[in-house]
Each structure stands twice: as C-alpha cells, then as structure tokens.
Chains A and B, each alone.
Chain A
C-alpha cells in the first residue's frame, strides 16, 4: 500500500491515500437471557448484520437510527471497546481489532453521557484524560484553558466540581476532552441528546467549527434528522443492525422520491421514525 504517513499530535501515523474509515461486512451479536427457553438459556441478538461503508478523510457522515438499531454498537466497535464477530473495520488503514493501540491514538469520542469524575473539576478531568494520550503537565497547562475557552466554557468555572455544572456545560467539557487529544477521527454518539435548545445549537456550531479548523473526520450517530442534515456530507440509515443506505441527503430524497428524511425513513423501513429517549434504552434492548 503506497501511502504517505501524516503524524498526529499523538505520534501515530494516519496514512493518507487510505480511507479514514473502512468497514466491511461488520457483524456483532450479543447473547441475551431467554427465560422462556429456561433459567440459564441465552439467545443470540444480532446488533450489526454485515455493515459495510467507507468514509474519506475530512468527511462528516451521520448515521441515523432508532433505539436498538446498532448505532452505539458501531461506535463502540470503532472505539476498540467491543470485539467483533465477523467482517473488518479499518481506521486510516489500521485494523481496529488487531492494531488497537494505533487506532486508539487516532480516535476519540463524545457520547450521550458526559461521564466524568464528578468530584473533580473540568480542568482536573481534562488533565486526567490527556495523560492517557501522553500529554504532560507542561502541555496541558497551556492546552486546557485554550480548549475550554474554544468550547465556550467560562474561565471562572474551570476549577468547579463537575457535579455542579449543567448538562450542557458538561457536554462542552466532553467535547473539549475529545479535542484535547487532536483525534483525526471523532466519533459523536448522540452528542446533543438531552441538551436544552441553546446548548444543542452551541454544540452543533462547535462541531461545524471543528470540521473547518481541524482536519477531523466525523462519524455522527444521532436520531436527530435535522442535526444530521445540517452537519453531515452523507447520511446513513441503520435499521435493526442493517445499513439501508449511505449517501448525500439529496440523493436519499431522490432515491425515495420524498421531501424529508422522515419520509425517507418511512419509505425505507415501512415504519414511522419515533424520537428516542435515553441512549441507554438501546443498550438495554441489545443486552437485556
């Protein structure tokens, strides 16, 4: 493979000339307790059924899907948090399941839950996360105030415990945490779910700014069709573990001869698209 290596801040090569993300026939299933079949019986629940797609460097792709569609499973597979049952996934040419360390240096994520040590401050949480990526105190002393300012986090609250911050504020810190390590692939798993409209807009504007200023590739998993349409170059629909389409929004509408993505969803699945509640619902449904 002839490719030019581009060094990231973390020192891992993100090869140019190869797709940012290459997923081929990716499969994952979980075993779920099946009480009807016996006390200890389990049945297999497919979460992803042979998903294939490619993303180019700098592209933003949105994957739409309802609870249990497999969006979070996809993100967790690409984050090296799950081991697949079949197929392959490559991040800038690195095998996501065999070259995990190389992949981990290239990827970061923001999920629906901000997830921090609640007694620690935003600065302390960011320091802790940055150390895992090899950023020492001298670097974080400069970078953390910079990145918090960029996400619009007030300077006078940097040393306040996370538990005292609003959900919107916490999600800004989560974005800062993801960007602090300069990832070339950013996985956004429902980053605006549960946020108030203002915070949601701020986060979305920030994602747009990140695309312009950084050379980041973004995979956005969401159930918010307007958000997907506004942020993504291409939109995919994941339904019950199958990727039904992945193309620019206009092409999707043309394909189904419809005006909106909601109508496209109905045309593709034969069901209404229902707004989701909590991301954990998906996990419960999949894992039982």
Chain B
C-alpha cells in the first residue's frame, strides 16, 4: 500500500510538473498569446456579424448572434485543447527535450493528462474572455443565460476532447514534419459534423449519424440551450459525453502508446525526427 501511495504521489507530482511548465511558458509567451487572442476575437467577430446581415426581427437576430457566438467560442476552445495536447510531442521535439521527457519515469497517461488539464484551464480562461468581449462588442443580450450550466457542460465535454486529442497527439511522433497539422484536420472534421454554426438537422443523414458520436454535438447543443434559453445541465447531453469520454480516453492512450512504440522501433523519438 505504501509503495502504491508513493507511486500515486510521484505520478501526481509529474502531472503537476507538466501544468507548472505550461504556466512558465504561458508567462514567457504572454504577449504572443495576447496577439493570438486579438486574432481570435477578430475571427469570431467575422462570424457573429453574419447575424447582423440577416434581416430578421431583433429578437431572432439576437438568438442567431448568440448561437453563432457559442459555436465560434467552442471552436476556439477546442482549438486550444487540440493545440496543447497535439503539441505534447511537437513542442518537446522543437525544444529538443523530447528524449529527456520520454526517458523519465512518468506514465504516459499522467503526461497526457497534465497537458490536457492545463489546456482545459487555459482554454476556459481564453474562451470566457472571448465570449464576453465579442458579446459586448456586438451587443448580444443574454437575459436568461445559465452560465453555470454552460460551464459545467464544457468541463464535462473536455474529458472527451482530451481523449480525442490524445489520439491526434501521436501524429507528430509518426510524422515529425506534418503530424501536428493533422490534429487541426481532426478538429475541423469534428466541428463540421457537430453543427458548429448550424443545426445538425440541416446536414445529410450520414453526417447526422456521425454527429451522434461527436462530443462537440452535445457541448454545442447544451451550451446553446443554457445561454439562449437558460436551460440547466441536461442529462441528455451529459450521458453521451460521459460515454464518449470513457471510450475516447483509453482509446487515445492506447493509440499514443502504440505510436510511441513505433517511434522507439524506428528511431523517431528524437530531436531531429
């Protein structure tokens, strides 16, 4: 039992180390992050302004703007999670620390969860700022919004997002040059079938079928309901997210470990790829 407690303690310290490192790096790159935030705000505005161009009654325009805003913010949030988790390998390779990290006695699950935990925290902060800055700029009214429920649903959805991110984070191990970009392909594909700026019902039936296994579908649907209509946390959105997380996390870990084994067999676990 003592040995188990020591192992758990050691693993948690390792997980904390990953979060700590990302805090250091975020502080060092603060101005770059600020510049990226400006870009994200501008990009979100280009989407939300579409609501202004559609000539509908003011109340409907407000609902449309809020709906687009929720889609754009979740797109940005997912982007941050995929960026951080996918760059688990890419960033270490770029800095040259990859060999030291992968020869350390930390389980890969804690390593990836550490990246995921920081990504969720950081992503939530950025998504919150983005949401309120754009809402204020456009003048969106959300009198019934239930922000608590919306936040809780995003946190629940994050587990499945991290699981899927783990699957894509292996790509830079297999293709050091182009692997990281493929993570963004996965992000885009997930959102396109999840109704990021439109209802899922407008898509062809085969895409609607895929939407059922995408966690973003439930995150978008639930958050829109909470922010536009003030709905609470709906079990109909929560249980699919929990099931997807239970499948995606072990699957993501298994895929990553397989990729790591491939990299160790072929000598790709090194600085120069």
Which residues of chain A have a CB within 8 Å of any CB of chain B? Answer: 10-12, 30-31, 73, 76, 79-83, 101, 104-105, 107, 109, 111, 113, 115-120, 124, 127-136, 161, 177, 280, 283-284, 286-287
Question: B65-89 vs A: 1/0 string, CB under 8 Å?
Answer: 0000000000000000000000000
Which residues of chain B have a CB within 8 Å of any CB of chain A? Answer: 3, 6, 9-10, 13-14, 16-18, 20-21, 24-25, 28-29, 95-97, 99-107, 261, 264-267, 269-272
The total of interchain contacts (Cβ-Cβ below 8 angstroms) comes to 108
Residues B104 and A81 in contact, CB atoms below 8 Å apart: no
Contacts of A116 in B (CB 8 A): 95-97
Contact of B13 among A117, A129, A136, A284 (CB under 8 A): A136
A124 to B21, CA, bound (A): 8
Contacts of A133 in B (CB 8 A): 10, 104-105
Contact of B105 among A10, A113, A284 (CB under 8 A): A10
Contacts of A73 in B (CB 8 A): 267
* A235 CB to nearest B CB, Å: 25
- Interface of B, helix, strand, loop or mixed by DSSP: helix
Contacts of A111 in B (CB 8 A): 99
A135 to B99, CA, bound (A): 19
Contacts of B99 in A (CB 8 A): 76, 79, 81, 109, 111, 115
* B212 CB to nearest A CB, Å: 39
Residues B28 and A134 in contact, CB atoms below 8 Å apart: no
Residues A280 and B272 in contact, CB atoms below 8 Å apart: yes
Residues B28 and A104 in contact, CB atoms below 8 Å apart: no
A128 to B102, CA, bound (A): 13
Residues B264 and A118 in contact, CB atoms below 8 Å apart: no
Contacts of B25 in A (CB 8 A): 117, 119-120
Residues B6 and A132 in contact, CB atoms below 8 Å apart: no
Which B-chain residue is minimally distant from A114 (CB atoms)? B96
Contact of A129 among B96, B100, B261, B271 (CB under 8 A): B100
Contacts of A177 in B (CB 8 A): 100
Which B-chain residue is minimally distant from A120 (CB atoms)? B24
Nearest 8 interchain pairs by C-beta: A131-B17, A134-B10, A132-B104, A115-B96, A104-B105, A119-B28, A83-B264, A128-B21
* A24 CB to nearest B CB, Å: 20
Contact of B267 among A30, A80, A118, A161 (CB under 8 A): A30
